[in-house]
Amino acid sequence: MANSRNGTIEEWSPSGLPIKPIPGSYGIPIISPIYDRLNYFYFQGHMEYFKSHVTKNSSTVVRMNMVPGQFISRNSNVVAVLDAKSFRVLFDPSKVDKKNTLTGTYIPPLSLYSGIRPMAYLDTTEQLHSSLKSFSFHLLASRKSEFIPSFHKAYSSLFDTVETKLASGPVEFNALNQSAAFDFTCNAFLGAVPSDVIGPSASNKAAIWLLLQLHPVASHLTKFIPWPIEDLLLHCCQLPPFLARSNYEALEEFFSKSGESLLNDAAKKFGLSRDVALHNLIFMTSFNANAGFKNFMPIILKWLTQAGATLHGLLAQEIRSVVQSYNGTITLDALEKMELTKSVVWEALRLDPPVENQFGHARADLIIESHDTAFKVKKGEMICGYQPLAMRDEKVFRNAEEFVADRFVGDHGKKLLDYVYWSNGPETVMPAVGNKQCPGKDMVILVGRLFVADLFLRYDTFSAVHDGMLLGLEPKIVIKSVKKSSNK
């Protein structure tokens, strides 16, 4: 709608917001994308990079360059949506096309997946997406009863190792978690433990395969490589897929044998070829689930570490009281009764979602609304949402930058869940065949609660330090001490 005021034409969105040009610019070709990449990875960091564009342009919808830029990106130009309201456009399949946008402005070589496009790279309009998402729901439903025992097995072993190693000094959590997360995920989905079948290097094989896909958006590979060299190594060319070939072949063999019944179901119930089902099973387990848990556990520990012993005591009290009422057993029903524990998990996901960015192309010319302004986006333009900033929107969350453990407790807290977007959709919405929301959303929440519950059934408190980021993707956590449960 348009009207005239003082001789100028003004346009308004259907909801009555003024339509203005999207501020920001893409700068000088080649030079600006490289400069922006260095700011994103090395000079400012992810959060400050986006915040600086918001501040400079006085807008939470802004044109900017997105990494990796030259020379891997097809096109580094994006429209960034950085508040809780504008971000929601990325969840609307009628407005955004998600084909080949999982990793943003670049696509990993399909040879990493034996030439098959995994479901995460498919748009909802592609028939194969519907079949694969139905298969993923079947996988989760058929193995649901295995999640809790598989988790206890993997993480009890991890905590045992932590306690043993603490006798010699502080213990880095991440390396232990990488192995535990992969063992747990595969055991939960397939009924087989990769470290038993492949050997102790199983999780490293998956990690190398993941790195070959994600290195264009990773950084700080090691403190021994100066950033200019790392930038040339990671961000200027796609590392050759053959570096992961032998590792992926080992995964193929493991998943082919251990997932035999699931692969048969994929053919009989969902009409999927064995190859398509196999490589998607590997991707769903090793990328979607395992990589998420690999990042998520350190994220939870990071915020619990900062919160300190007072919160630890409250969590221990709640968890032990509920578990005692369930005859000393952690069940799905018991976890549902742990209000503070649930809130802590959601708050960690709000502040540090395991996947930071979401992307999509505008299906047609459309209007995006922030809280007070509307903007026109043209068909085909890439929209990028940075979730950690969108979920720190002060117009939605009070003290949005702070970790508030009980933020989601009570009726008001439950309403705020509509603005928790970590799963590529609001927490109040369920994954469906017709959307791109994570099919394992409920499993992630379950695992987060299990981790907190197991931690405080075992320990009264712990001390640790958050020692930077690993690959720029997950917090590095070093555990310094644990205090065994006084109830044992």
For residue 223, the model assigns a pLDDT of 86
Confidence of residue 412 (pLDDT cuts 50, 70, 90): very high
Q: Which of 54, 31, 61 is nearest to 362 (CA)?
A: 61
pTM (2 decimals)?
A: 0.96
Q: Residue 22 in contact with residue 377, Cβ under 8 Å?
A: yes
**Cα angle for residues 419, 424, 430 (degrees, 5° grid):** 80
Cis preceding-peptide flag for 403 (omega within 30 of 0): no
Pairwise CA distance, residues 465 & 140, whole Å: 34
Q: What is the mean pLDDT of residues 25-43?
A: 97
pLDDT 10s digits, 325-374: 999 999 999 999 999 999 999 999 999 999 999 999 999 999 999 999 99
The dihedral region occupied by 13, where left means phi > 0, alpha psi between -120 and 50, and beta the remainder, is: beta
pLDDT 10s digits, 19-29: 999 999 999 99
413's enclosing H/E stretch is helix 410-416
Order of strands, sheet of 459-470, starting from the edge strand that comes earlier in the sequence: 171-172, 474-484, 459-470
pLDDT 10s digits, 40-75: 999 999 999 999 999 999 999 999 999 999 889 989
Give the domain ranges of the chain.
2-484
How many Cβ atoms sit within 10 Å of the Cβ of residue 371? Answer: 13
Per-residue tokens: 395: 């117009």
Ramachandran angles phi, psi of 201, nearest 5°: -85, 5
Per-residue tokens: 369: 């609304």
For residue 70, the model assigns a pLDDT of 85
**pLDDT above 70: residue 277:** yes
**pLDDT above 90: residue 38:** yes
Pairwise CA distance, residues 157 & 392, whole Å: 35
Q: What is the mean pLDDT of residues 278-307?
A: 97
For residue 6, the model assigns a pLDDT of 46
CATH homologous superfamily, domain 2-484: Cytochrome P450 (1.10.630.10)
Residue type, 338: M
Q: Which of 377, 318, 308 is nearest to 342 (CA)?
A: 318
Confidence of residue 16 (pLDDT cuts 50, 70, 90): very high
What letters, b where the CB count within 10 A reaches 16 and e where it falls short, cover 237-271? Answer: ebbebeebeebbebbeebbeebbeebbebbeeebe
For residue 74, the model assigns a pLDDT of 86
> Is position 186 annotated in a ligand binding site?
no
**pLDDT above 80: residue 321:** yes
**pLDDT above 60: residue 5:** no
pLDDT 10s digits, 186-212: 999 999 999 999 999 999 999 999 999
> What average pLDDT is seen over the chain?
96
Pairwise CA distance, residues 483 & 204, whole Å: 31
How many Cβ atoms sit within 10 Å of the Cβ of residue 146? Answer: 15
Q: Which of 409, 414, 412 is nearest to 426 (CA)?
A: 414
Residue type, 269: K
Per-residue tokens: 284: 């769903």
Q: Which residues pair with 383 in a beta bridge?
A: 79, 360
pLDDT 10s digits, 152-165: 999 999 999 999 99
Q: What is the mean pLDDT of residues 97-111?
A: 97
Q: What is the mean pLDDT of residues 419-432?
A: 97
Q: Which of 370, 374, 364 is nearest to 1 (CA)?
A: 374
Q: Residue 199 in contact with residue 35, Cβ under 8 Å?
A: no
Task: Name the residue with higher pLDDT: 96 or 487.
Answer: 96
Query: Going by DSSP bridges, is the β-strand pair 382-386/77-81 parallel, antiparallel, or unpaired?
Result: parallel
**Cα angle for residues 397, 402, 405 (degrees, 5° grid):** 85
**pLDDT above 60: residue 135:** yes
Confidence of residue 7 (pLDDT cuts 50, 70, 90): very low
Radius of gyration of the chain (CA): 23
CA dihedral 226, 229, 233, 237 (to 10 degrees): 140
Please provide the distance, in angstroms rounded to a whole number, between the alpha carbons at the two ends of the chain.
Answer: 68
